Structures are given as structure tokens and as C-alpha cells.
Structure 1
């Protein structure tokens, strides 16, 4: 039915984007220059955040957020059991302990009804993930955090433009972390943006990303043992050029998602749910297959039918490092996360696709 293979993802980079990058390369000013500032300003204005810092990727953003909040050995951080593993890795990198919480199977986001039971005297923060581009119930997360005096670092890697009750994610918590990986709506190849409304936090992030340098009286002072987490200016130019099309991209993705939602009618496939008061930015269109089907066989079937597909994210406690360290009965403790990992299928959804192609993919899914 499909004449050509449809990859799971493909970034939409046009000639204008390429020319912006070439201009930077010709200028010779390659690291953290004018375009980094333009990109940071766009994020601040678009999201309504006071401060935005461009970093090397969406893992370094989370890492520096935890460092800035002073989280380290002896502390516990609540993370969803289903996410890309980097969400938990940064907790390990600062020497803290991951406390996993199961997800809501309908939304693939953290189950807010299970957060309170995971809180202990050692809990310092929550990292809620807006999984696949859907805002989690971040308002409830914030209420819990306020009640228990906890920090909140929003992992909005996939969710630029997502909202709850018309407020954009990444602006609720102490920090909002965004990724510019090629599978995201906007890409710089690798890159990340960290937002905050706290001026002191923002100042520290900018010091930490640049080797611990603070300018004092026109001179460099190394005031922290910092990192090289800077974004190059040609990466920023690529992202800043694309981001002018962001609203169009998100609208088109919603149109394509609507085709899937209306045309997939296979009773063996469960479609994603978007709760009232929230919107989905569709970084991934992620479905669940029922127990009569094997994930590996479904993925092979789709690839044989020229459809790029994969599982969506990890049940983190089931990954070898976390299974060996924490020794949790993840199938029993996190059944929804494990099911999303073992029965989830991500299918193509990005702005270079046509409605006709998505319709054809839907019909193939209906034959499984």
C-alpha cells in the first residue's frame, strides 16, 4: 500500500534553515553567540518564562537543574517509571536516589494519585515527564510539591507547546527542561533549553554551563567547577530558523494525529487519550497492543510493510542498570509502565508526512 519506506521520524530542515547555519559557519563565531541569545529569547517569550538558557542537550538541562537545586547524596527524587532513561540517569549522576512511580496507562504520564505514597523525609524533588508531548497533570503535581515543600523539574523534552488549562508546560515548576533532538518538533541536532522564573537559578545555570566562569569587572573568574554544556551558535541558528514555524508544525501534527485517531479501528489497538484541559503536541503517536500480540512481531510486520516503528520509551526499573541496583519487582510494582514499555508501539508522525500517508499507515495497522 505504501510505495516507499516511511521512517519513524525525519526532521524537516529547509533551505532557509540551512542558509542560517551556513551564515554562522562563514562568520567564524561558532560557539554561544548571537543566535543562542535569539533562541533563548524566543523560548522565554513563547513560554512566558522569565529566563531561558540554551545547553548542549536535554540531559544536561536536567543535570544542571538538579545541581542548581542542591540535590545530591542522601536525597530522593520521584520520577515516573516510564520515560526515556535520561530522566532517571541525571538523578544517579548527582548521587541521589530514584523513587519510581507508576504511570496512568491512558496518558503514559505519572499517576499523580501515587505520588504522595512515594514521599519520604528524604524526598527533595519530583521530575514529572510530559510524555510523548502530552502535558501531565502538572497542576496536581505542583499542589503536592507545595504541600510537601518539594522542588519540581519538569521534563518537557517532548512537549514544547503543550499546555494545561492554557498555561504552557515548562513554566509550572522550578525548572522546565526541553530537548532539541532530531525527533522533536524543533531540532538543533543535539541541544536543550532550560527555563526558570528564578533569576538566581538562571545565573547559576549560565555559570555552570560554561566551565564555571563568571564575568567580574570585565574579567573571567572561575567560581564553580563547571561543565562544558554550551550550545554552538550554528546549532542555535538551525533551531531558531525552524522555530518560526512552530505553530504551523504543531497544527499539522494535530491534523495528522486526528487521522490516526479516526482511522485506526483495530480492536487490538488502544489509542492514546488526551484529558480535558490539556493538549497534545504529538512528538510521538504511541499506541498499545493487546496481549494477543507480540510487540516484536508487530514491529517486524510494520517494517515489512514499509513503516518505521519502535517501542516508545523504557520501563526504567526494568533496564539492566536500575534492575541490578534497585532490584525492584517492576512487573508487580509498575504494571502500567511495564505494559507501556512491552506493549507500546510508536508509529510515524511528523510534519513531512501527508494525511494520505497517515491514512495508509492506519489501514495497515487495522490488518494486524
Structure 2
């Protein structure tokens, strides 16, 4: 091979095209750059993705989680059940409001929160459960929602990796008390940086709008203690452009994943639950053997790859050390197994047919 065929295939590839650049420049020239008409337009358009729910734009996916918990009144003395197999932001948001994180295991062979493990973790202090739609696959909302309703728990969907994913026809972000999305550059769509909160509760939406803007709806008429977690109009304008392209990009991701499913051998390809619409933020396989050796060979073949996430949250220092001091130990065998086995391969919509063939050749040649 020669030329472009020798270039490494990136594991992820943010898209910033002329449309996004023009949108940003247009807003900068307008002088309306923060919490203006672009943000309002982005919220209205994103609402169509989540069955018309109220949408509140903020400055990051982590802020979306943090403010949602604050708006729901969750704080010291409360417990929130979270999967340990996720990015740390899922649990960090719980800690930031002063609540306690309770980790529950994922389902065998899957990457989603196990409803049975959630039920076993519920105590009188449990206030909410936070399912994570990891890698773009919806969590088991058909079983988690009835469970939460029986116990009177709020459900905060961490949909930061799952724009346009769905289960049995219902989009993620439209199941729980609230849903949260991220617009970080490597997500399925981005706004350079930003987040969105979705909810069917008008009062929760109003509280969120106050919280993101120093507690104000009217200038200098502070109603509650809030923060500055607003989205800029530059980010919103880019997000609106990306939202318009999300459908096409999602189908490309799904087509790339289908090609990999059909042609890869020697690895466990991503599971897809019945009725699930997987949008493949990551194409995550399992390696039943020496993962480090597999990664080294893939990298040598020019195939980008990454492990999300090598250390479960409960083993990260901010969680592990306090739990050890408190004599608390988590029994999460499926989480530990996934963390030891997963590798994510390129699936982004910029992949060419030739690059897909190179990925397959590299994976299928691992045993040689």
C-alpha cells in the first residue's frame, strides 16, 4: 500500500466542516454570543430528538449531570446508584452535590446497568438511579423504569454517548425524570463543548434554567443560588449544524458497525439487545486473552484503538480510598471483567471502505 492507505486510522475523528465554521463566524459577527437566540433555537430543535421534552442547554455534559441532581433536590444524606463501568463524570456529579455514590454491577455480556443489581443496592436513603447508555447502546430502561417507579426513585439518564439511540422506539433521554447529553468533540455530534438536559417536568426545567444562570430568570433578580454554566451561542450554532447532520452520521456509524460485525473474527463483537437502536459512539469488542498484545498489534497495523475504561470508577483514587477507610467493598465481577477485556475500534462516519477493510484485516490477522 502507498499514500493515504498507509496513514493510521484514528479511533475517533471530530468533524469540523465549513458549515460549522461559517455558523461560528456568523454568531461572532452578530455580537450575541452567550445565552441568546442560537441557544434557544438549539434547545427547540434538540427537543425533537426526545419526543418534545423540555431541553436546557449548558456548558458541558458533566454540568448537565450536576445541575440535574441539584434541580431534583439530591444532596447530602441521599444515595444515587451508578454503574462503575463508565466515565468518572457519572459518579463525580453525585459527589459534587454531596450525595453518596452506590455502585451496581453491569449485566453479564453487556455493558449496561443490571436491574437486578440495582434492586439489590436500594436502601431507604436511595434517591435516584443513573443508568448510563454506554458506547451508544441504550440501558435496560424497559426494566429499570418500572423498578424505579416501584421504589419512588428519580431516574437520571446519562445519555452523553448516545444521541439518537432508542429502545423499543423510545429515544434515550425520554425515559427518565431527566436525561443528559454531551457535545464534546468526539461525541456522535458536538458543539466543540456543551451539554443538554431533557425533562418532561416544566418545573424541573425552570429550576435548571435558574441554576445555569446564577439563579436568575430576570437580570439581577436572583431567586436561588446558581452558577454560571451557560452555553455560548457560538457552541449552540455549531451544535445546530451538527444536529442537522446527526441522522446521516448515525446511519453511517451503524453501517460501519454492521460491516465489522459481519467480517470480524476472533473477538466478541458488541452486543445489541432486542429492540435496541445502537448508535455506536464506540464499537467496543471484548478480547478474551492478552489485550495489551492485541492493542500493540493493532497499533502497529495503523488501526487506532482505545480502552474505555481500563479502571472502573470504584477503583479510582477519589472513590477507592474513602471506601477503603470506611470498610466498604464493592463486589462487581462483571464490571471488573469488562474493564479487563474491552477494546474500542474505529467506527466513526469518516471511515472509508478501504479503512474498514484494513481494520478487518488487522483484527483477523491477530493470530498470525
TM bracket (short chain) = over 0.9
CA distance in 2, matches of 1:162, 1:190: 20
1:48 aligns with 51
Task: Tell me the secondary structure at the aligned position of residue 45 of structure 1.
Answer: helix
With the length of structure 2 as denominator, give the TM-score of the two structures: 0.95
Could you tell me how far apart the structure 2 residues matched to 1:299 and 1:190 are? Answer: 29
| 1:196 corresponding residue in structure 2 | 199
Residue of structure 2 in register with 1:307 after alignment: 303
Which of residues 158, 181, 185 in structure 2 aligns to 1:182? 185
Of residues 181, 204, 208, the one that matches 1:205 is 208
Asked if structure 1 preserves the Cα contact closer than 8 Å seen for 2:53 and 2:174, the reply is no
Task: Give the Cα separation in 2 of the matches to 1:243 and 1:310.
Answer: 26
Aligned mates of 1:46, 1:133 — CA distance in 2 = 15
For the pair 1:364 / 2:368, whether they are aligned, the reply is: no
Q: 1:15 aligns with which of 8, 13, 18?
A: 18
Q: CA deviation digits over 1:131-154, x for unaligned, max 9?
A: 100011112111001000000000
**Alignment partners' CA distance in 2, 1:258 and 1:214:** 47
Moved more, 295-304 or 66-75: 295-304
Which of residues 326, 336, 339 in structure 2 aligns to 1:338? Answer: 336
Deviates more, 1:123-132 or 1:333-342: 333-342
Q: Match for residue 38 of structure 2?
A: 35
Q: Is the 8 A contact 1:263 1:359 kept in 2?
A: no
Indicate which of 290, 294, 300 corresponds to 1:298: 294
Number of residues of Structure 1 aligned to a counterpart in Structure 2 = 359
TM-score relative to the length of structure 1: 0.95
Contact 1:256–1:354 (8 Å) recurs in 2: no
Matched, 1:353 2:351: yes
CA distance in structure 1 between the partners assigned to 2:8 and 2:262 by the alignment: 23
- For 1:87, the equivalent position in structure 2 comes to 90
Contact 2:94 2:100 in 1 (8 A): yes
Moved >6 Å (runs of 4+): none
Q: Is the 8 A contact 1:263 1:363 kept in 2?
A: no
CA distance in 2, matches of 1:140, 1:49: 23
Question: What is the CA distance between 1:297 and its match in structure 2?
Answer: 2.9
Q: Does 1:121 align with 2:117?
A: no
Q: Which runs of 5+ in 1 are unaligned?
A: none
What residue is the counterpart of 1:316 in the other structure?
313
Q: Which residue of 2 aligns with 1:162?
A: 165
In 2, Cα distance between equivalents of 1:227 and 1:81: 28
Deviation per CA, 1:257-297, whole angstroms, max 9, x where unpaired?
0111011111xx2111111111100000011101x31x333
Structure 2 residue aligned with 1:326: 323
How far is the alpha carbon of 1:68 from its aligned partner? 0.8
Pairing 1:102-251 to 2, within 5 Å after superposition: 102-215=105-218, 219-251=219-251
State the shift of 1:329 in Å. 4.5
CA RMSD of superposed structures (Å): 1.3
